[in-house]
A and B are shown apart, each in its own frame.
Chain A
Amino acid sequence: MRFIEEYRDQETAQALGRAIRGITTRGWTLMEVCGGQTHAIVRFGVDQLLPEAVTLVHGPGCPVCVTPIELIDAAVEIAAREDVVFCSFGDMLRVPGSTTDLLAVKARGGDVRIVYSPLDALKIAKTEPAKQVVFFAVGFETTAPANAMAVYRARREGIANFSVLVAHVLVPPAMEAILSSRDNRVQGFLAAGHVCAVMGYTEYEPLASRYRVPIVVTGFEPVDILHGVYLCIKQLEEGRAEVENQYVRAVRREGNASAQEMVREVFRVDRRMWRGIGEIPRSGLALRDEYAAFDALRRFDVGEAVTVEASECISGLVLRGVRKPNECPAFGGRCTPERPLGAPMVSSEGACAAYYRYRTHAAVSRA
């Protein structure tokens, strides 16, 4: 299949692996920011082609994982109401809140529906005017434009029974939080290609120079990732710290201007709690005042819930790349995808789920 197969080509991948081995003279620790990249790495065994000296640690780029538990609890409470149709991307359904998850609400009769686009939720709002249709607006800069578009259209078309529960997060502030933390071990980043397709990569330029780290905008296929690693190591070995674009087939420096404009129209930058990490200033999106009527938290009186996190979960350390999932004492035993203690064990982008699914057993040999 075009645009897929050539980026999963064995010979190209092996050749890139050899090239990386050829230029690596010492140990380097790189972080791939996005959970989609983490999954590709473990699914295809990309790290098996790397020299031992190169360590990939997994970043916070899993929207499901970092959505604060308060919002999961709010989602659960709203979704359980009789008059509500609660629409969400599939990933969110199994994320544990303090006491339960959305899938359990659905099993108990709550009208929870999986949608593929926020515009589908808007369509439901139009066809079922007697219901309150709530969309769980989760994600990084990637999903923000479409979610903004849904709210924009709801306001323009006067669809009053539509609202959004906003949990949007932004990548660059999270990268900065990692770089400025005392236990940081990341020396170079593979930035998330799809985020940059929307936002471009000018935001990363000050980060690269301030913290002296190479940042390579990277795609999601194995060959993309290996190429990203190669460019990043090359910079490190040559003592450079620049923003470089590996994902040229999708990303331009300035990004997608009309998508950015739509995001700015509907959202403003705000502080945001990150599950497992804590509050990061200017790291999230909130609805602008003109759109506040579509804020589900305002529309529904969600009580001040007492949130309870599983005390054993080390997801914060995993999300900041300080620990690997299999270094958690609960991993694979008390915490599995069927009984997750933390969100990274749930999502198809969570690092713990990736490790559990592709390497529960230590005996997978290096190729």
Chain B
Amino acid sequence: MHQLIERIFVATFGNPLLDARHDAAVADLGGTRVAMTTDSYVVQPLFFPGGDIGSLSVNGTVNDLAMAGARPLYLSAGFILEEGLPMETLWRVVRSIQRAAQEAGVQIITGDTKVVDKGKGDGLFINTAGIGLIESPRRIAPDQVRPGDAILLSGDLGRHGIAIMAVREGLEFESAIESDSASVAPLVLALLDAGIEIHCLRDLTRGGLASALNEIAESAGVTMAIDESLIPVRDDVRGACEILGFDPLYVANEGRFVAFVAPDDAERALGIMRSHDVGLGAHLIGSVGDLISDHAAAVTMRSAIGANRVLDMLSGEQLPRIC
């Protein structure tokens, strides 16, 4: 996917705003800095423990705006409905969107609906786009990451991906693992309001923590070192990952992000993060190293037993193993 984006879309559409390769693009509109982003949601099943496609389509886009340090304001919503989708299902999704929008403090101000023939869609697809206002003068982007920056993780990893996997594959655990889907915008705004020197933010969706760190290391041209024993993963998620042969560091999250902050602000930032529900499990997991040299690995991790290894990008999807 990463290669596909680079080779086709970035290569063709390339412009300074896109080239920043951030979760949301930031444009200057007559002195006002505005963040814009879009995301499409094709999740199956439509409803899962801890969320549904509706709340996900709000939180995901709101979080992308927050990753640029923006206050999310308005969303658009496009629906692609497959013929035969029960009205009751659509109602449930729409009500969920409304609730999530309210919680995130955004309004849906425009939209679109298309119906496709049966068999040409998977029940329901949603696209949302969002715009937000950047009030802080600080530029938050991968190229702002500096050697020595503290890497803060906002909470435990892997719940969304495993929750979806469990429902989709009919895996049964003692209690359902709930998705972490949530808006992190209020937490990010609190960090900015407190004057925390944030250099970069990235939400940990597809590809998880490992991919996010690698992408930022690549754009910023720095190395990073993290410590596996400091990364929180819930026991039930860890257990599911062990069974499936997944690495929680690559599993998708929908309410988690990493923050790169000036080392002197790390403690204070952690305090603020932990005072929010979505940041209760926040942890300092490592730091940014030197500028990258030719043969060095971008991201390394000290493993649980105290050895070092490369933490690489994920290629393709993680597939469950045989034994």
Contact = CB atoms under 8 A, between A and B. Distances in A.
B306 A367 contact: yes
A10 interface: yes
Interface string B285-318: 0000000000111001011111111101001101
B310 A44 contact: no
Could you tell me the dominant secondary structure of chain B's interface residues? loop
A114 B169 contact: yes
Given A4-B238, A338-B3, A338-B315, A10 B304 contact: yes
Nearest to B304: A8
B242 A44 contact: no
How many interface residues does chain B have, given as a range? 20 to 34
B40 to A, nearest CB: 19
A337 B313 CA distance: 11
Interface in A132-158: 138-140, 142-143
B171 interface: yes
A361 B319 contact: no
B318 to A, nearest CB: 8
Nearest to B303: A44
Contact of A48 (B229, B242, B307): B307
A90 interface: yes
B105 to A, nearest CB: 38
A367 B320 contact: no
Given A44-B303, A45-B303, A114-B169, A94 B319 contact: yes
A89 B244 CA distance: 10
Most buried by A among B305, B310, B312: B305
Interface in A99-130: 114, 116, 120
B169 A49 contact: no
A91 B320 contact: yes
B14 interface: no
A362 B322 CA distance: 29
A138 to B, nearest CB: 6
B174 interface: no
A365 B320 CA distance: 30
A138 B322 contact: yes
A143 B305 contact: no
B164 to A, nearest CB: 14
A44 B304 contact: yes
A39 to B, nearest CB: 9
A79 B321 CA distance: 19
Interface string A21-38: 000000000000000100
B269 to A, nearest CB: 27
A349 B312 contact: no
Interface in B83-121: none
Contacts, number: 121
A348 B319 contact: yes
Interface string B217-256: 0000000000001000001001100101101000000000
A36 B323 contact: yes
Contact of A364 (B239, B304, B308): B308
Contacts of B229: 10
A212 interface: no
Contact of B323 (A114, A142, A336, A361): A142
A367 B319 CA distance: 31
B304 A362 contact: no
A119 B92 CA distance: 34
Contacts of A338: 3, 315-316
A13 B305 contact: yes
A142 B322 CA distance: 9
B319 A91 contact: yes
A227 interface: no
A194 interface: yes
A367 B322 contact: no
A223 B303 CA distance: 13
Given A63-B322, A364-B308, A4 B242 contact: yes
Contacts of B242: 4
Nearest to B239: A1
B305 A361 contact: no
Given A93-B319, A94-B316, A367 B171 contact: no
A157 B238 CA distance: 37
A213 interface: no
Nearest to B229: A10
Contact of B305 (A46, A92, A364, A366): A46
Contact of B297 (A138, A222, A347, A360): A360
Given A1-B238, A361-B295, A90 B319 contact: yes
A211 interface: no
Contacts of B239: 1
The 4 closest A-B pairs by CB, nearest first: A45-B307, A90-B319, A13-B305, A361-B297
Given A45-B307, A347-B321, A348-B321, 19 more contacts: A8-B304, A13-B305, A48-B308, A89-B321, A90-B319, A91-B319, A91-B322, A94-B316, A94-B319, A194-B323, A348-B318, A348-B319, A358-B310, A359-B310, A360-B312, A363-B296, A363-B297, A364-B300, A367-B308
Interface of B: 3, 169-171, 229, 235, 238-239, 242, 244-245, 247, 295-297, 300, 302-310, 312, 315-316, 318-323
27 contacts: A1-B238, A1-B239, A10-B304, A14-B305, A36-B321, A36-B323, A44-B304, A45-B309, A46-B305, A46-B307, A48-B308, A64-B322, A89-B320, A89-B321, A89-B322, A94-B316, A114-B320, A116-B244, A138-B322, A337-B315, A338-B3, A349-B322, A358-B310, A359-B309, A361-B297, A363-B295, A367-B306
